[in-house]
């Protein structure tokens, strides 16, 4: 028995020793596995995450009971309240007592126990930063509640300024809050920003939860996706993976992917309607370096919120020593002043129609936009004429004459005899290089009739009081074309490499150098022509920064150079036009081309709205896609009527078969003889019915029922559009199926 017990103890001891040895041997592997797990938990490149070193909300003490608000400013319309414990603000609309707050009341926060996002919803700002010493860009996101910055306040007229010092990050900046009329202005001065060596500022989002709405609130968010987009608050919604995040005026880096692009945020605006109250945000300073954010309920937290994000650094692709590419932050901070103006509405004015009206007034009163539409004038017929284009051949490119200058005059005269009262013509490919071959050479093509032929056409247009634009592109340049250096005259990225496509065929031109030569190369040779002006292709739809050694430009600087070119056209010819309608191009535009009818189609978007068109109708005439290229002619025609577009065609005298195997094969049906009857029919209907409202501003736009919309103009005239397959009755007015009616104020259709 004792022998058995002894053997058993020896067995247990031996097993224990073996297990201990195995544990000791395995420990390094376990440690490595844990390290690998930790490494996998680290943020991916470019991923926005909470910093590992952030204190928890409990540690920071942020979720403790805050101090009370104190009134610091007041005017006839608003009161501004400030809370010293966390610098939260509240704005009271005195017209009805509604209270807008930067910090969401804790009882309204639905975070399912997520303390980080509860803290986030209480923060006066969100901030994104990066460590520049890392081998690849990793951005980290934090906020006021997590950082608990030191605050110093300074009283201002009608407001307060707060300096925030973040000890952990060694980043500090000022933010001021001031009342101005029926608006609150929030400003971050660029010169106030300081940062340490180990943490660089990437962006700041002021008031990220200002006025945030719950699932149970009635209302919607407005954001500038294309013409404008609207997202309703919903009690039932999915968990969204991504919000709407758009760089104002388009992507902040050049892309050569021309397919499937999202629509531009052409205006620096956003808005929120909650019940019978709403606000619209306008980025009035620093909009060139800013994003618009809309996060629907279901994205990280069950709150609907819309705000701006101020950009102070961008990322770029750098080449590592091993030849591979990696993302890095720009070295220099963008020290631009940023101001966001929040305009408040209540009662019947709390909708996107009044937001658009307020933005129009901002353009007219503060941005120098002057109405280009004369009261009572006829609806113009938008006529693009493709003149010439080159077809690549082995030895010498073949120049195809689609429409000569004399043929263009014949077409315009024929339209006039058919009853078209006003024409806004635009010539594509009028130079010796032809359409889409840039730089274009700047000289009228001899094969189309030369300078004398273009001069005769311009004299005819002047006599008939028709607009005549010459479209050209001073943004793009193709390898092999004369007139530019692919080393000195082109856009250079932050990595100091020339920006070009993968084949080194397409380049973008430095705006400063183009502006310097524009008067001499373009305007002086054309000074005797009686044209309306130059139509600038590209400048209204894309914007970029440029590290060209000879002429470095920020995005705002690039826009400034382009606007000076437009102004020169206005001074010489009386007008200018823009393809694409980014907000900076409006001041000098007599006509706008390529204004979209549709948004990008984000999953959370419920409706496209004509915010852009409501702001500009009756001020600057605009056109969209050519009607001869419509995929659904009747539906898109009705959309033109609803959104206030001019009738618009892109035509040629010869048949479009000539364009086969050219760079512009999209114009698949363009022969004037095939389209003139339909074009005149649509023009006459629009001019006969819509001429009374052509020069008027849009006062209201609303959805009456599914697929039935109404637009109310400044004199009370109503345009009702019915997209349904059956007739509908609105206030005793019958609207035929897939048609529209015009109801004068106090009258009948």
Looking at residue 318, its pLDDT comes to 83
- For the record, the structure tokens of 205 come out as 């989002």
Rg (CA), the chain: 30
CA distance 156 to 84: 15
23-27, 151-155, 406-410, 500-504: range with lowest mean pLDDT: 23-27
- Report CA dihedral (481, 484, 589, 254) to the nearest 10 degrees: 90
- Answer yes or no: are the C-beta atoms of 182 and 344 closer than 8 Å: yes
Looking at residue 28, its pLDDT comes to 43
Residue scoring higher pLDDT (7 or 52): 7
Percent of the chain beyond pLDDT 70?
A: 88
pLDDT at 518 over 50: yes
pLDDT in tens, 354-393: 999 999 999 999 999 999 999 999 999 999 999 999 887 6
pLDDT at 58 over 70: no
Q: What is the DSSP letter of 280?
A: E
pLDDT at 5 over 50: no
CA distance 446 to 547: 38
pLDDT at 36 over 50: no
pLDDT at 517 over 60: yes
Q: Which run of H or of E encompasses 462?
A: helix 450-463
| pTM tops 0.75 | yes
Q: What is the DSSP letter of 373?
A: S
42-51, 291-300, 616-625: range with lowest mean pLDDT: 42-51
Q: Please, which pLDDT band fits residue 111 given cuts at 50, 70 and 90?
A: low
Looking at residue 24, its pLDDT comes to 44
Pairing mode, strands 78-83 and 648-651: unpaired
pLDDT at 32 over 60: no
Q: Please, which pLDDT band fits residue 472 given cuts at 50, 70 and 90?
A: very high
Which among 462, 421, 652 has a CA at the least distance from the CA of 575? 462
Looking at residue 259, its pLDDT comes to 62
99-108, 432-441, 521-530, 693-702: range with lowest mean pLDDT: 99-108
Percent of the chain beyond pLDDT 90?
A: 79
Half-sphere exposure of 593 (CA within 13 A, CB side): 26
pLDDT at 29 over 50: no
**pLDDT, average across residues 85-90:** 96
Q: What are phi and psi of 465, to 5 degrees?
A: 60, 40
Q: Please, which pLDDT band fits residue 38 given cuts at 50, 70 and 90?
A: very low
pLDDT at 430 over 70: yes
Question: Would you say how long the chain is, in residues?
Answer: 749
Residue scoring higher pLDDT (516 or 257): 516
pLDDT at 8 over 90: no
Looking at residue 35, its pLDDT comes to 40
pLDDT in tens, 677-714: 999 999 999 999 999 999 999 999 999 999 999 999 99
CA distance 739 to 347: 32
From the CB of residue 260, how many other CB atoms can be counted at a distance below 10 Å?
A: 6
Which among 660, 677, 678 has a CA at the least distance from the CA of 668? 660
**pLDDT, average across residues 641-668:** 88
Residue scoring higher pLDDT (321 or 483): 483
CA distance 540 to 560: 12
Looking at residue 14, its pLDDT comes to 53
- Report CA dihedral (56, 60, 66, 67) to the nearest 10 degrees: -170
**pLDDT, average across residues 188-198:** 96
Q: Please, which pLDDT band fits residue 441 given cuts at 50, 70 and 90?
A: confident
pLDDT at 289 over 60: yes
pLDDT at 494 over 80: yes
Going from the C-alpha of 60 to that of each of 381, 608, 749, the distances in angstroms are 64, 43, 65
* Separation of CA 728 from chain center: 36
Name the average pLDDT for the chain: 90
**pLDDT, average across residues 507-521:** 96
Beta bridge partners of 606: none
**pLDDT, average across residues 200-213:** 97
242-246, 294-298, 325-329, 583-587: range with lowest mean pLDDT: 325-329
pLDDT in tens, 309-364: 999 999 988 877 666 778 899 999 999 999 999 999 999 999 999 999 999 999 99
Q: Please, which pLDDT band fits residue 43 given cuts at 50, 70 and 90?
A: very low
Looking at residue 668, its pLDDT comes to 83
pLDDT in tens, 63-84: 456 779 999 999 999 999 999 9
């Amino acid at each position: 028995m004792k022998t058995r017990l002894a053997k058993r103890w020896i067995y247990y001891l031996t097993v224990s020793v073996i297990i201990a040895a195995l544990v000791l041997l395995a420990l390094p592997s376990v440690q490595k596995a844990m390290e690998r797990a930790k490494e996998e938990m680290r943020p991916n490149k470019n991923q926005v995450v909470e910093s590992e070193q952030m204190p928890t909300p409990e540690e920071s003490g942020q979720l403790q009971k805050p101090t009370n608000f104190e009134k610091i400013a007041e005017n006839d319309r608003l009161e501004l309240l400030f809370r010293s414990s966390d610098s939260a603000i509240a704005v009271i609309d005195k017209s009805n007592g509604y209270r807008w707050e930067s910090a969401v009341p804790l009882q309204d926060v639905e975070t399912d126990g997520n303390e980080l996002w509860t803290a986030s919803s209480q923060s006066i700002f969100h901030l994104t930063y990066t460590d520049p010493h890392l081998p690849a860009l990793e951005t980290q996101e934090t906020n006021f509640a997590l950082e608990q910055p030191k605050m110093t306040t300074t009283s201002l007229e009608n407001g307060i300024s707060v300096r925030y010092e973040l000890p952990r990050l060694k980043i500090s900046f000022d933010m001021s809050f001031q009342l101005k009329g029926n608006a609150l202005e929030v400003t971050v001065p660029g010169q106030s920003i300081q940062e340490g060596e180990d943490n660089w500022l990437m962006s700041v989002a002021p008031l990220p939860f200002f006025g945030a709405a719950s699932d149970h609130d009635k209302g919607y968010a407005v954001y500038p996706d294309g013409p404008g987009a609207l997202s309703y608050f919903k009690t039932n919604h999915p968990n969204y993976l991504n919000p709407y995040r758009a760089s104002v005026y388009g992507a902040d880096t050049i892309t050569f992917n021309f397919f499937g692009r999202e629509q531009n945020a052409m205006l620096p605006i956003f808005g929120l309607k909650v019940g019978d109250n709403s606000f619209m945000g306008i980025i009035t300073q620093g909009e060139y370096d800013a994003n618009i954010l809309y996060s629907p309920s279901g994205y990280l937290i069950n709150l609907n919120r819309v705000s701006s994000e101020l950009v102070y650094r961008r990322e770029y692709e750098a080449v590592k020593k091993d030849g591979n590419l990696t993302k890095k932050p720009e070295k220099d901070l963008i020290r631009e002043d940023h101001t966001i103006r929040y305009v408040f509405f209540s009662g019947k004015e709390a909708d996107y129609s009044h937001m658009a009206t307020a933005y129009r007034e901002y353009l007219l009163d503060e941005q120098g936009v002057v109405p280009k539409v004369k009261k009572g004038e006829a609806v113009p017929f938008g006529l693009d004429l493709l003149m010439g284009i080159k077809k690549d051949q082995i030895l010498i490119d073949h120049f195809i004459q689609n429409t000569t200058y004399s043929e263009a005059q014949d077409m315009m005269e024929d339209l006039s005899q058919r009853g078209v009262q006003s024409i806004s013509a635009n010539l594509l490919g009028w130079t010796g290089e032809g359409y889409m071959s840039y730089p274009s050479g700047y000289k009228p093509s001899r094969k189309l009739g030369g300078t004398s032929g273009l001069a005769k056409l311009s004299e005819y247009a002047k006599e008939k009081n028709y607009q005549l634009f010459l479209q050209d592109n001073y943004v793009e340049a193709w390898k092999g074309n004369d007139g530019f250096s692919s080393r000195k005259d082109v856009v250079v990225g932050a990595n100091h490499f020339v920006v070009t496509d993968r084949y080194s065929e397409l380049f973008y031109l430095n705006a400063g150098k183009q502006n310097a030569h524009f008067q001499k190369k373009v305007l002086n040779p054309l000074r005797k022509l009686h044209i309306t002006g130059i139509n600038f292709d590209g400048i209204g739809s894309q914007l970029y920064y440029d590290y060209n050694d000879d002429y470095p430009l920020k995005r705002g600087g690039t826009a400034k150079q382009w606007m000076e070119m437009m102004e020169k056209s206005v001074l010489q010819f009386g007008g200018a036009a823009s393809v694409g309608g980014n907000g900076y191009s409006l001041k000098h535009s007599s006509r706008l081309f390529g204004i979209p009818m549709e948004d990008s189609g984000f999953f959370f978007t419920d409706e496209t709205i004509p915010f852009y068109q409501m702001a500009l109708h009756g001020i600057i005439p605009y056109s969209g896609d050519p009607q001869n290229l419509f995929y659904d002619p009747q539906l898109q025609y009705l959309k033109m009527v609803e959104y206030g577009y001019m009738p618009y065609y892109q035509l040629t005298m010869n048949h479009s078969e000539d364009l086969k195997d050219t760079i512009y094969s999209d114009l698949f049906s363009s022969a004037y003889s095939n389209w003139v009857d339909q074009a005149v029919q649509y023009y006459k209907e629009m001019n006969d019915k819509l001429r009374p409202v052509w020069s008027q501003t849009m006062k209201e736009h609303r959805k009456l029922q599914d697929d039935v919309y109404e637009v109310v103009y400044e004199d009370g005239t109503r345009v009702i559009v019915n997209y349904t397959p059956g007739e509908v009755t609105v206030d005793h007015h019958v609207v035929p199926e897939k048609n529209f009616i015009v109801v004068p104020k106090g009258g009948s259709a």
